[in-house]
Chains A and B, each alone.
Chain A
């Protein structure tokens, strides 16, 4: 991992469980993996995306300090979720979009896991096998 990826992963990790919300029947969240994959994804995009996304994470943490008077990490999971939820329902567009923007890579990377997909009926391995048996070749 690059230094930038490590920095991003470290900063976003505390947000992973609350961003994903209550997950009944799903495998346990691998916070580190999700944070690292998110970092790889965001840092692979243009620098502006990294700046906005990283800035968004910092802003959310600042918001926790301002509204809950505690660092985000010290809030209970329920308090964290309540804060994110409230922000996402704000009348102000910037506040409304903040947790959504920050959560984008986290959600993508969690639901990309094979075991998570299987819970939703999406079995990647059998799809790969099926596709292997249905290769289309065309002779024009």
Chain B
């Protein structure tokens, strides 16, 4: 049995002496990429240390206070933006469980055709769809993935599917990693009943049971290398709420796995000037741009009564468009509506009558992550004309569904087409060209791609195994390795790649043990 170490149980307020640890493998980040890997390797009997910069929050602490949750569980209080026209809100999690703790729980597999593109176009022919399918199945069983229960899916989803059905569009309830979900609709702010099987209540505690040691509030700043091999990491503790700085930490390990996510991982590599002979680290940033359409009905929808994200239309996946319903509590909807004064208050007063449809693209646009001063960073992302055109189309389809479902008005938040009151307005939107400037609120919830995987060290950062081309025993296991965006919610795919990568790390560790036995150096987990 390992331990989930927090600031409190390590009594860090009173400790100044650095922590010296050693393990077979050290994993940076406890999200979708880090947690399954920790569980898998600990199950194989390896000593595992996980370092997570965010705090640990038990289920009881999730109390429907979304604004407070955003402050506590999101990086930069949720205020992460990609600079471009429009500027895109692109928040990520910073807590034990990573972004899965605050995600919507939608659990989809990668579309076959995207995997095929990677195999053919990106030279990743070793990634076998049948093998991937085994990982997906294992994860789905572990996380109780099943379709959303219509009983608790909520009226927003019901109306959306009715509308889609009337238009003859293919869709349905979404598969989710939740067990006995009551539809409280606050998945993105910490599930208050523990139903959502995010990493903080699934792979992480199970990894701890298998012997992994997890350290919350612990930020890694340095990757240690010797003779071109990764041999450990260094960092420091920092309390997530008071920001009090704690002691330094150093972990020696045979293998280092970066699972800090699409922002955290490239920043670590860039700051350490490692694994970047291709010059690709930080580039190729994708985020699945999303805009929202708000239908307003005559009848009560009570959008908060229901699963946060429970239905979709997948008819247009080949056209790189996916439509998914989302619900938000009042404060978060208030934040999401890009309107001023009376326009805003009028929509908010109609909250019980509103629905929400997210229009998401598998984009071709790419951005970049750049380190900034004082541990900060900048994200640059400019949506291209092709995606703008697609986004308009997605808004048109979502609005058609809304009207078919009986909406009396549809808010699109595209300047010049803010509010559609009739099919005539919709026709005008269809016929007019729009520019990126017209999108008043764009977000991206699925960052991917800043340390891309490939078959050529000149154009990619990691091999198909997840190991970096440049530094031996340095692996990456998170969404940053995706060569392109995938067009569907990515957590399950990140986890599947995590399990796949764990197999290669396991091989490495066995090989390293043999090597060390020959040279007489061994390592085991211990706190100095």
Write out, one digit per residue, whether chain B residues 190-221 have a CB within 8 A of any chain A CB (1) or not (0): 00111101000110001000000000000000
Shortest distance from the beta carbon of A127 to any chain B beta carbon, whole Å: 5
Q: Which residue on chain A has the smallest CB distance to residue B346?
A: A21
Query: In whole angstroms, how far apart are the Cα atoms of A108 and B341 in the complex?
Result: 13
- Which of B76, B81, B342 interacts with A85 by CB under 8 Å? B342
Binds B, one of A5-13, A44-52, A65-73: A44-52
Given the known inter-chain contacts A21-B346, A104-B335, A128-B63, please indicate yes or no for A116 contacting B330, CB distance below 8 A: yes
- Which of A19, A88, A108 interacts with B67 by CB under 8 Å? A108
The answer to whether B352 touches A120 (Cβ under 8 A) is: yes
Write out, one digit per residue, whether chain A residues 72-84 have a CB within 8 A of any chain B CB (1) or not (0): 0000000001001
Given the known inter-chain contacts A21-B346, A103-B344, please indicate yes or no for A135 contacting B85, CB distance below 8 A: no
Instruction: Assess whether A23 is interfacial by the CB under 8 Å rule.
Output: yes
Instruction: Assess whether B59 is interfacial by the CB under 8 Å rule.
Output: yes
Given the known inter-chain contacts A41-B67, A111-B331, please indicate yes or no for A120 contacting B79, CB distance below 8 A: no
Query: In whole angstroms, how far apart are the Cα atoms of A2 and B206 in the complex?
Result: 41
The answer to whether B64 touches A127 (Cβ under 8 A) is: yes
Query: Which residues of chain A are near B349, meaning CB under 8 Å?
Result: 23-26, 120
Binds A, one of B168-176, B178-186, B282-290: B178-186
Instruction: Assess whether A3 is interfacial by the CB under 8 Å rule.
Output: no
- Which of A37, A112, A116, A131 interacts with B193 by CB under 8 Å? A131
The answer to whether A136 touches B180 (Cβ under 8 A) is: yes
Number of interface residues of A (CB under 8 A): 52
The answer to whether A44 touches B182 (Cβ under 8 A) is: no
Query: Which residues of chain B are near A128, meaning CB under 8 Å?
Result: 63-64, 192
Query: In whole angstroms, how far apart are the Cα atoms of A23 and B65 in the complex?
Result: 22
Given the known inter-chain contacts A108-B331, A108-B335, please indicate yes or no for A103 contacting B340, CB distance below 8 A: yes
The answer to whether A19 touches B341 (Cβ under 8 A) is: yes
Q: Which residue on chain B has the smallest CB distance to residue A124?
A: B64
Instruction: Assess whether A61 is interfacial by the CB under 8 Å rule.
Output: no
Query: In whole angstroms, how far apart are the Cα atoms of A109 and B339 in the complex?
Result: 16
Query: In whole angstroms, how far apart are the Cα atoms of A21 and B415 in the complex?
Result: 20
Instruction: Assess whether A30 is interfacial by the CB under 8 Å rule.
Output: no
Query: In whole angstroms, how far apart are the Cα atoms of A81 and B346 in the complex?
Result: 14
- Which of A46, A93, A100 interacts with B79 by CB under 8 Å? A46
Q: Which residues of A contact B (CB under 8 A)?
A: 18-26, 37, 41-42, 44-49, 81, 84-85, 87-88, 93, 96-97, 99-100, 103-104, 107-112, 116-117, 120-122, 124, 127-128, 130-131, 134-138, 140
Q: Besides A48-B376, A97-B86, 11 other CB < 8 A contacts?
A: A21-B344, A22-B342, A87-B340, A100-B338, A108-B331, A111-B331, A117-B330, A120-B348, A128-B64, A135-B194, A136-B195
